[in-house]
């Protein structure tokens, strides 16, 4: 099976998207199709042996659509599609500049003639009616066959294949108005003999097509803004890199950079591609990728991410990934995939849009027939026929499902883009929707609530030994050790600017500790078991107390007595307690789920003030605990590191990976926090809730607009209040409804968290 993302050309409305989706779905070999009207893209899963892009394009070409596959070179592809869209927008803008002023003149002229009949203060229209009608006929003909060509083409496609969309509605409505007006204009005697009204609808044709065309232009321009997130991510990629070959520095296009090449980045330059530092030290601004506001120190062995900015020193690094496998490339693909996915709430809009056009066609036809039959019983035939034509055109024009089709995808696109700006990667629209509804959030301890690395928590001096002396001896011994706890002591000594002393006769005792000789004196640094074996007395209750706090006590002793204790622990992240309180304030139950022993778990859990602590849980047990919560009707989010918590992440309704740029985490979780900052989870939940709020607003107004407008357009209120919707006003209202939905979604970009 192959999965591709394609750009769609020729798609104008929500029903176009459904037509494309339904047409592709029944092709042999196609397994799944998701079409996104807002992004004008589709994700297609198909069997390459059964079908291909050429076959898909041949089938869709009959309906006026075409597909353009998105290649690995996303920069080139994005530029290509953007140029096509901008060129189309330029053409539309040129046509609007010509025809929109003419439409305004026609509207004002028609309004002048109508008002002049009823108000004596308004002088008669200066242009003779015959000349005016000829002018309007010429303009209407140019507009109908020029601007309206897409609408006209949709009518025979509908008749031949039964596939209707917004273009079909406008094409039928304006086509009926135009053809009837031609009969009135060229065959007035025939119209009179049939006792039909001698009314021209050329002005309706001009204004409706121009306003719908204007709406499409405004909608396309607004939709183009929803893709800004991808564009900004693409802007982070540089075009070339400085590669070290021998002693020469050669600038190469990024596409030519290979894994293993040595790249040089100077101060202020962008790091072009992912790699590992082999020379130099610097600080790197990773905010645009991970959302981490503080610069990150980089030295030999540190990983650097393409798209980040080198702030200070010169760095040489070895390329570890090609351009298509970098973290930035993965982020772009993930954001694009999420923006093209559908939220569950979209299913309602899809179901409505699927039946909407046929229903509208039926309502339009029924309104016309009703005016001819029932209306003619109470009104003159000519008046009833005129009202029938007006209502027929108005119903077809105002009932555009575009606003309905745009309601959800525009919200998803902007929401996913907003999340990525804060270093939050959302895998799909469903995850974005569900995140805001969670009732319980379960967190792993190590690396999630805690820093995930040992830190010196306390130093206790005994038998007149000072803390400085204890740390000096300890770091002198540990500098030769490979034990994970050694790093904590070395970092603490560096922080206090303590210089290690020379050590002789160093020896490691596996599972117990280390020993060595400093200036002729032998020292031991290890656990209680080591001292018991040496026969050196120590305060066992104090050691137990440290263990009860979730800390690992390292006992320092010479050959006769204990000199002090260094307690090492994995401590809470700086903002862990505050983040837990805010999550609880959002109405969530916070549970800590860890494989650590009970004492360590209790200590960290109490410090973080979580609602419940579950300790000593194996990976399979973690998944069972989450499943039990789901059976208790809780909607559960699991927060872990994306690798050793993968079973629990999969079991949860939403899996959230805390990652420092881990590709595995990005693939494993529904949502990935690119930097291990718990506050980003709060931001993600708030973005989810804001997105769903906007989508619900969009759907409400789209439904409300169509439900309220259709009866008025059909003339239901005319017998009671004399209220009738002019087709020109209907066209303007339809266009504005789509633009308002897109604009409402775009307002999310102003949100700050």
Could you list the active site residues? 444
The C-alpha angle with vertex 743 and arms to 353 and 741, in degrees rounded to 5, equals 20
Only one residue has tokens 């993930």, namely 334
CA dihedral 244→247→251→257, nearest 10 degrees, is -30
H or E stretch covering 402:
helix 402-421
Buried-exposed string 497-524: b where 16+ CB fall within 10 A, e elsewhere: ebebeebeeeebeeebbbbbebeeeebb
Tokens of 669: 């979780």
In angstroms, rounded to a whole number, what is the distance separating the alpha carbons of residues 610 and 580? 7
Residue 57 · residue 66 · CB < 8 Å? yes
Who's near 198: CB < 8 A, 6+ residues apart?
184, 188, 191, 192, 382
Residue recorded with tokens 């970009």: 749
Burial letters 18-37, b for 16+ CB under 10 A, else e: bbbbebbeebebbeebbbbb
How far is the C-alpha of 404 from the C-alpha of 383, rounded, in Å? 34
Any bridge partners for residue 461, and if so which?
Answer: 564
Radius of gyration of the chain (CA): 35
- Give the SS3 label for residue 425: strand
CA distance linking residue 494 with residue 516, whole number of Å? 20
Q: What phi-psi label fits residue 362: left (phi over 0), alpha (psi between -120 and 50 degrees) or beta?
A: alpha
**Residue where the block lists tokens 């003999």:** 193
Token pair, residue 290, equals: 């991970």
Query: What value, to the nearest 5°, has the Cα angle with vertex 345 and ends 339 and 351?
Result: 105
Report how far apart the first and last C-alpha atoms of the chain are (Å, whole number). 41
Tokens 């973080």 — which residue?
A: 608
Number of Cβ within 10 Å of residue 397's Cβ equals 34
Mutual orientation of helices 598-608 and 576-585 as an angle, nearest 10°?
A: 70
DSSP bridge pairs for 656: 639, 671
Find, among 160, 140, 164, the residue nearest to 151 by Cα.
164
DSSP for residue 301: T
Percent helix, strand and coil across the chain, each rounded to 5? 55, 20, 30
Contact (Cβ atoms closer than 8 angstroms) between residue 201 and residue 393: yes
Quick one: DSSP state of residue 371?
A: I
> How far is Cα 446 from Cα 450, in angstroms, rounded to an integer?
5
Q: Residue 528 to residues 432, 539, 565: CA-CA distances in angstroms?
A: 50, 10, 11
Pairing relation of β-strands 240-245 and 262-265? antiparallel
Collapsed DSSP state (helix, strand, coil) of residue 331: helix
Q: Which residue has the tokens 């109405």?
A: 587
Helix (H) or strand (E) segment spanning residue 85: helix 74-118
Q: How many CB atoms lie within 10 A of CB 393?
A: 32
């021998």: which residue's tokens? 246
Dist CA 694 CA 689 (whole Å): 9
């Amino acid at each position: 099976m192959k999965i591709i993302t394609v750009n769609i050309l020729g798609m104008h409305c929500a029903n176009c998207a459904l037509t494309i989706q339904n047409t592709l779905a029944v092709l042999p070999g196609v397994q799944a199709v998701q079409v996104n009207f807002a992004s004008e893209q589709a994700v297609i899963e198909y069997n390459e042996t059964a079908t291909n892009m050429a076959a898909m394009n041949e089938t869709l070409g009959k309906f006026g659509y075409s597909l353009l596959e998105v290649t690995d070179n996303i920069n080139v592809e994005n530029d290509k599609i953007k140029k096509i869209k901008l060129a189309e927008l330029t053409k539309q803008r040129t046509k609007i500049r010509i025809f929109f002023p003419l439409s305004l003149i026609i509207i004002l002229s028609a309004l002048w003639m109508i008002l002049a009949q009823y108000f004596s203060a308004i002088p008669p229209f200066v242009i003779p009616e015959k000349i005016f009608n000829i002018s309007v006929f010429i303009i209407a003909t140019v507009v109908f066959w020029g601007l309206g060509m897409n609408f006209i083409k949709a009518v025979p496609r509908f008749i031949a294949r039964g596939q209707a969309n917004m273009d079909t509605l406008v094409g039928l409505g304006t086509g009926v108005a135009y053809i009837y007006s031609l009969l009135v204009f060229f065959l007035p005697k025939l119209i009179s003999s049939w006792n039909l009204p001698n009314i021209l609808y050329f002005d309706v044709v001009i204004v409706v097509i121009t306003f719908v065309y204007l709406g499409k232009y405004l909608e396309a321009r607004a939709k183009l803004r929803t893709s800004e997130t991808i564009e900004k991510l693409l802007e982070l990629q540089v075009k070339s890199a400085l590669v070290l070959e021998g002693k020469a520095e050669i600038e190469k296009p990024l596409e030519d950079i290979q894994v293993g090449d040595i790249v040089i980045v100077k101060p202020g330059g962008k790091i072009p591609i992912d790699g590992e530092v082999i020379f130099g030290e610097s600080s790197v601004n990773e905010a645009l990728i991970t959302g981490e506001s503080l610069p990150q120190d980089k030295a030999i062995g540190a990983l650097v991410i393409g798209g980040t900015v080198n702030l200070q020193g010169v760095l040489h690094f070895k390329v570890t990934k090609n351009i298509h496998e970098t973290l930035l490339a993965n982020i772009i693909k993930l954001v694009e995939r999420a923006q093209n996915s559908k939220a569950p709430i979209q299913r309602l809009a899809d179901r409505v849009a699927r039946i909407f056009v046929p229903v509208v066609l039926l309502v339009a036809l029924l309104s016309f027939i009703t005016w001819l039959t029932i209306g003619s019983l109470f009104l003159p035939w000519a008046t009833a026929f005129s009202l029938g034509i007006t209502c027929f055109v108005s119903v077809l024009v105002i009932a555009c499902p575009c606003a309905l089709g745009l309601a959800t995808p525009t919200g998803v696109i902007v929401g996913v883009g907003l999340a990525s700006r804060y270093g939050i990667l959302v895998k799909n629209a469903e995850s974005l929707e569900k995140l805001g509804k969670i009732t319980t959030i379960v967190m792993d301890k190590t690396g999630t609530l805690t820093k995930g690395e040992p830190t010196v928590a306390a130093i206790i001096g005994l038998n007149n030994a000072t803390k400085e002396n204890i740390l000096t001896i300890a770091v002198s011994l540990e500098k030769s050790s490979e034990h994970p706890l050694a790093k904590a002591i070395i970092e603490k000594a560096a922080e206090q600017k303590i210089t290690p002393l020379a050590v002789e006769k160093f020896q490691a005792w596996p599972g117990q500790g280390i020993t060595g000789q400093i200036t002729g004196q032998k020292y031991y640094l290890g656990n209680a078991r080591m001292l018991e074996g040496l026969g050196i007395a120590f305060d066992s209750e104090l050691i137990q107390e440290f263990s009860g706090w979730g800390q690992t006590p390292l006992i320092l002793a010479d050959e006769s007595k204990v000199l002090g204790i260094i307690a090492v622990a994995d401590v809470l992240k700086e903002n862990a307690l505050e983040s837990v309180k805010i999550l609880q304030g959002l109405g969530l139950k916070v549970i800590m789920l860890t494989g650590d022993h009970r004492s360590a778990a209790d200590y960290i859990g109490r410090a973080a003030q979580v609602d419940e602590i579950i300790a000593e849980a194996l990976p399979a047990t973690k998944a069972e605990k989450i499943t039990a919560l789901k059976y208790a009707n809780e909607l559960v989010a699991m927060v872990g590191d994306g690798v050793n918590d993968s079973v629990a992440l999969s079991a949860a309704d939403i899996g959230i990976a805390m990652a420092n740029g881990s590709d595995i985490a990005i693939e494993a979780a529904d949502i990935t926090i690119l930097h291990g900052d718990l506050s980003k989870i709060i931001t993600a939940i708030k973005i989810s809730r804001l997105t769903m709020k906007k989508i619900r607003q969009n759907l409400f107004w789209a439904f409300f607009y169509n439900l309220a407008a259709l009866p008025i357009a059909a003339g239901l209120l005319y017998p009671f209040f004399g209220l009738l919707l002019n087709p020109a006003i209907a066209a303007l209202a339809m266009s504005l409804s789509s633009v308002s939905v897109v604009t409402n979604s775009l307002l999310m970009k102003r949100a700050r968290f």
